[in-house]
Every structure is written in structure tokens, then in C-alpha cells.
Structure 1
Amino acid sequence: MTGANIVLAAVVLTGHTALAPAAAFGGMTAVHGRFEPYAVRSRLLAAVGAGLVLCVALGSAAAAAGWGPVPVTVLVAVVAALAKLLTDAVSAGPPGGLIFVFAVATTAVLPVSWAQAGAQIGIAALAAVVAWCVGMVGWLFFREPADKQISWREGLRSAVRLPSHELPRATKVGAGVLAAGLLAHFLDLGHPYWTMIAAAAVLQSTHLNHTLHRTVQRMLGTLAGVVLGGLLLAAHLPTPAKLACIVIALLCGELTVIRNYALAMLFITPLTLLLSSLLTPPDVLGLASDRLLDTVLGALVGLVAAVVRPGRGYHLATA
């Protein structure tokens, strides 16, 4: 939603580009609960916003404390598992726990002081509040009955009580993300956190059939997105034009991620590349090739994790 990106636009236009990722993550609160009744949406967006701010805080604290690659990888894997468990337990819907992984993995690799970490947390919180307001503005015009029941407590209890479908899925996501991150560091890839995010992305599905589809869609969408993003980077756009592209890409990604994953990656990949370029002058070819290689590796690791533990509906039937 465009309104949810107000904070992102403000920090970039005022020259505080280092805060752009945190503002973007807070604004992504608005992605969730779009079709829920306002009684449900209110609580869901509040919970998602708080979770995203917490993830920015964890990542920023890890960066400020100077954590090395392995501790950061473990942190991201734990967040990925918990995000999968909780979003499944409350039936949060697409995009599931992915954005939480995106937030903690990205902020954990941005070099910051403790003061800068505090600024990132504050900006993320402000953006989350703005996103909540944008998501709820329709309530002023379309009132709904207040008797909607929200049985989150029962869902959470069921998720952690054995036998549980949610616990094995969460464990699989955590293990896949951990393996992807460690492998990326072992291979000395340029942006290992992209590998972890890709693994988490393909493992948001419930069984192997969906994971296979998401793997193919993520790789094809990323390939097309890398081409588009590389062209935008090579154009050396001025900051206002680059910001406009970021907002458009973010909006298009939000609108398409629920409907077509490959199409969403066509927008999310340039978004990621453009955000990265705001922080450091980009090596266009190197950045684009890193994005493609890291994404393919992470998606394949996620697929292997799904093969090892397929879950329900493991057969490769046509969806």
C-alpha cells in the first residue's frame, strides 16, 4: 500500500538512506491481513508490526554487537522457525513468516553502532504504526459487527502440543535456513543472507508439491528481476527517481505476492537491489550475479530440506 511507504520516502528524501531498510520492513506490516475483517485485521497487523520491529531490533543488536557469520546464521534460523510456527498457528496467511526472516537477516549484516541500531528500531516502529493506520483506515467508513471471535490461543496451544503439524514444519524451515546460511558462508558468497531468505521463502509452503512450485517460481522470477534491477542500477538514477522505483516495486510486490510468486519476485528483486544500492555504491554486475547465485542456492537447499521431510501431500501431483 502506497500510504504505508510514507516513512520510507521521508527517510530517503531527507538523506537518511541507511534507515531505508528498517522503514521498509516496518511498512511491510500492511502486506498482511488485507482481506480479513477489521476486527481480525486490527490484531493481526498489530502482532505482525510488533514482530517486525522485534526482528529489526534483533538484527540491529546483532550487528551492533559485532556478531560473526555463524551466530547471525543461527539467529536467522531460529527466527525463521519461530516465524513459521507462529504464523501457521494463527493462520496469518501469505506471505507467512518470510518477511520476519527478511527483516532480521538484512539488518543483522548492516554495520551499525548502538545509537544507529536504536534509530533503526525507532524508524521501524514508526513505519509499522503508519502501516497499521493505513490498513485500518477503511474501518472509519465500513463498520463491522464486533462479535468476531479470534481463537489464537487455541491455535498456539495446538501448534506446540504433540502431535503437531506446525512444529515439524517450523523445524524444517529452521534447519533449511541454517543449512543454507552455513553453506553460503562456506562457499564465501557475496550476500549469504540472501541465501537464507531464499531457503525460508520456498519452505513457507506446507508440502513438497508447493515447495517445488515455489522453488521454480522464485528462480525464474529472480532471473527476470535481476535483469530488470541490473538495468535500473546501470542507469545511475538520481535518488528521487530511485526512490520512486523502490516504492513502485514495493507496491507491486505487495499486490502480486499472494497471487503469483514468480511475478512478485520480478518486483521484489529490483527492490532489494535498489535498497542495497542506497547503502553502498553498487558494482552492478557483481550485485546482480550475487543475487541470482545466492537465490538459486538458497532455493535449492530449501527444496532439499522439503525432500528430506516432505510433510503431508508430499506426492508430486499437479496442484
Structure 2
Amino acid sequence: MNDFGRHDLLRALSPRGWWHLRPVDRALVSALRAMTGANIVLVAVVIAGHTELAPAAAFGGMTAVHARFEPYPVRARLLAVIGAGLTLAVGLGGMASAAGWGPLPIAILVAAVAAVAKLVTDGIRSGPPGGLMFVFAAGTTSAFPVSWPGVAAQVGAAAAGALVAWVVALSGWLFFDHDNDRTTSWRAGLRAAVDRSSHEWPRAVKVFAAVLAAGLLAHAFGLGHPYWAAVAAAAVLQATHLQHTMHRFVQRVMGTVAGVLVAALLLTLDLPQPVKLAVIVVALLGAELTVIRNYALAMVFVTPLVLLLGSMSAPVDTVAVTADRLVDTVLGAAIGLAVALVRPGRGYQLA
């Protein structure tokens, strides 16, 4: 089949090994730094009574979860690009909502953000979670009604979150040695990625197609949160080889199943806002501690985090929202895997 033989393709699609735990050095320090940087502005806007800005603040704060193990000079540059990109994604989604765009243009916008984010993050080698948070930011903010002044407030909250996350992520620079060897290599990587002959382009095109198809199909099926399907499709396609894509598919689905059960319990308890906020902070720590070791474990934390965050601004129907999360995830992940199989030898290796 194309660049793969039948035996190679079957071997690449084996889910065997998806449960393995990878060893990670400095995981606790990295996770604590990411948790702190990501949540400071989120906590501040909630305490101030502006829960409608919580998602935007959270997405800006997600700057802190990128480039965890890079030398500080490299991290400073990478996180500046990522923070600006996440703020832009929040603004684009908010503007689409304020302008009253329909499902098709919003799906195209989110897919375009996904493709560009994939191309850029792979090019600058930002590491996990790659371009995923940009898709999540644009999709989420496009899904909820907002006025034009509200868009400005969202952008401000996201920018504040990104700035604080950047500062926290670089807070150890004064106390630890750093290596300047890679201070310029990310520019070379970006130039190579955007070259027309680069393998990054087929991957970006696949991400665009999968995210667009997932968002439109979820809307056509009447699912409550089509952008969750788009995010799941993008998540599966953050991998650079087919076997990893298959593992991501299984891990995304299995982790979401377990995470939905945890989220359903927490939502049923009808926790007070301060307790919800505390659970969100702890959940992010758990996700950061486990995401490198095994993506499925991270999803057990990420799923309740997302659902609790969504419930902070308005009450939710526990059964409906957890069912949506599960169905959207399975649909999007399946579409992502299917798209990865289209000409799998173009831009994807076996392992």
C-alpha cells in the first residue's frame, strides 16, 4: 500500500505496547512549574468573579506546559512564540463567535489553526503537546457566545496567562546552568518545515483534513461539542509515525473512558467553585506528571479538568456533557486515525 507493504502496515497498526510507561527525568519539577504557570491567572480571574474568562486565561497559561526540558535560552524563545500563538488562537475563536459565523466557516478556521500549529510546532520542535492547545483554544472560544468587548477581554486574559506562564517557566534561569547549543537551531527547523519539499507539509494537510471532517461530522450528528471531536482528531495526528498514531488513538479513547467516569462523579457532587478550582489545579499537575509517561494516564486527568473548567461559567447536564465528551472523542480520534492511513508513507514513518 503506497510506501508501506501490507505486513508493515499491519505491524504499524498493532496497538501492542500502548500501555507501556516511559521513564522521565525531572518530571516532578517540570510538572510543578507547568501547574503553577498555567493556573495563576486562571485562579485570579475566577476569584475576581470573571468565570467567563476562565477558559481564555487557562489557554494562555498553557504556554507553561510546552518546551519543558529545553535549555532556558531556547525555552524563552519557544515559549514567546507559543504564548503569542495561543493568544492569537483565543482571539480568532472569539472573533468568529462575535461575528456570528456558522458551523462551516468555524470548522474551516479551527482546521486552519490546527494545520498551521502543527507545521510551526513541529518545525521549532516545541515538543508535547505540539499544536494541540492551539486547536483547543480556537475551538473552545468559537463555541460560546461573546460580544466584541468580550473578545478583547478574552485576548487580555489569554495574554496575561501566557506572560505569567512565560515568567514562571523561566524562573529557574538564575539558579541553574544552561546550555546555549540550541539557541538558533529552532530557526533552522522552522525554515526546513516550511520548505515545500518538507515532510511537515503532508502532516499539516492531514491535520487540516481530519480536524475539518471531525468538526463538521460532529455538528452534522448533532453532538453538543463539535470542537471536542476536532481536538481529538488533532491529538491523534500530533504523532510523526504511524505506530505512534495508533497508540495515540487507543490511549486517547481508553483514557477518556476512564476520565469521563471520574468527571461524572465530580460533576454529580456539585462542588463549590473554590473546590472545583482546586481540583482543576491538581488535575493539571496529574496530567503533567503522566503525559510523557503514558498519554492514556494523562487523559484520565485532562478529561475531568476540561469538564470541570467548562462547568465553572454555567451549570451543565452531567449525563449529556460526559456522553458528548466520550462520543466526540471516539469520533474525532477515529477520523484522525483514518486520515493518517491515507498515503501513510507520505510524511509518516513506521516507527
Matched, 1:201 2:211: no
Matched, 1:218 2:255: no
- Does the aligned pair in 1 maintain the 2:283–2:301 contact within 8 Å? yes
Deviation per residue, 1:182-223 (Å, 9 max, x gap): 111111111100000000000000122111110000000000
Aligned to 2:85: 51
Deviation per residue, 1:282-305 (Å, 9 max, x gap): 100011001000000000000100
1:83 to 113, 117, 121: 117
Aligned to 1:23: 57
What is the Cα deviation at residue 177 of structure 1?
A: 0.5
What is the Cα deviation at residue 258 of structure 1?
A: 2.2
1:128 to 162, 168, 182: 162
For structure 1, which runs of at least 5 residues remain unmatched after alignment? none
Distance, in Å, in 1 between the alignment partners of 2:202 and 2:62 is 27
1:2 to 27, 35, 49: 35
Report percent identity of matched pairs: 64
TM-score (normalizing by structure 2): 0.87
Matched, 1:292 2:326: yes
SS in 2 for 1:141: coil
Indicate how the Cα distance of structure 1 residues 178 and 90 shifts in structure 2: closer, same or farther if over 3 A, else same: same
Matched, 1:154 2:188: yes
SS in 2 for 1:34: coil
2:225 to 174, 177, 191: 191
What is the Cα deviation at residue 251 of structure 1?
A: 2.0
Aligned residue identity for 1:17: T
Distance, in Å, in 2 between the alignment partners of 1:253 and 1:128 is 19
What is the Cα deviation at residue 34 of structure 1?
A: 1.2
Matched, 1:68 2:117: no
What is the Cα deviation at residue 167 of structure 1?
A: 0.5
1:172 to 201, 206, 214: 206
Aligned residue identity for 1:3: T
Moved over 4 A (4+): 145-148, 312-315
For structure 2, which runs of at least 5 residues remain unmatched after alignment? 1-33
- Does the aligned pair in 2 maintain the 1:32–1:92 contact within 8 Å? yes
Aligned residue identity for 1:300: A
Matched, 1:247 2:281: yes
Indicate how the Cα distance of structure 1 residues 147 and 170 shifts in structure 2: closer, same or farther if over 3 A, else same: closer
Q: CA RMSD in A?
A: 1.4
Distance, in Å, in 2 between the alignment partners of 1:149 and 1:291 is 40
What is the Cα deviation at residue 146 of structure 1?
A: 4.9
Aligned residue identity for 1:2: M
SS in 2 for 1:149: coil
Q: Which moved more, 1:53-62 or 1:252-261?
A: 252-261
Distance, in Å, in 1 between the alignment partners of 2:344 and 2:179 is 41
Distance, in Å, in 2 between the alignment partners of 1:86 and 1:62 is 22
SS in 2 for 1:308: coil
How many residues in Structure 1 have an aligned counterpart in Structure 2? Answer: 316
Indicate how the Cα distance of structure 1 residues 29 and 313 shifts in structure 2: closer, same or farther if over 3 A, else same: closer
What is the Cα deviation at residue 313 of structure 1?
A: 5.6
- Does the aligned pair in 2 maintain the 1:217–1:262 contact within 8 Å? yes
Aligned to 2:338: 304
Distance, in Å, in 2 between the alignment partners of 1:145 and 1:233 is 45
What is the Cα deviation at residue 41 of structure 1?
A: 0.6
Indicate how the Cα distance of structure 1 residues 310 and 114 shifts in structure 2: closer, same or farther if over 3 A, else same: same
What is the Cα deviation at residue 278 of structure 1?
A: 1.1
Distance, in Å, in 2 between the alignment partners of 1:148 and 1:184 is 42
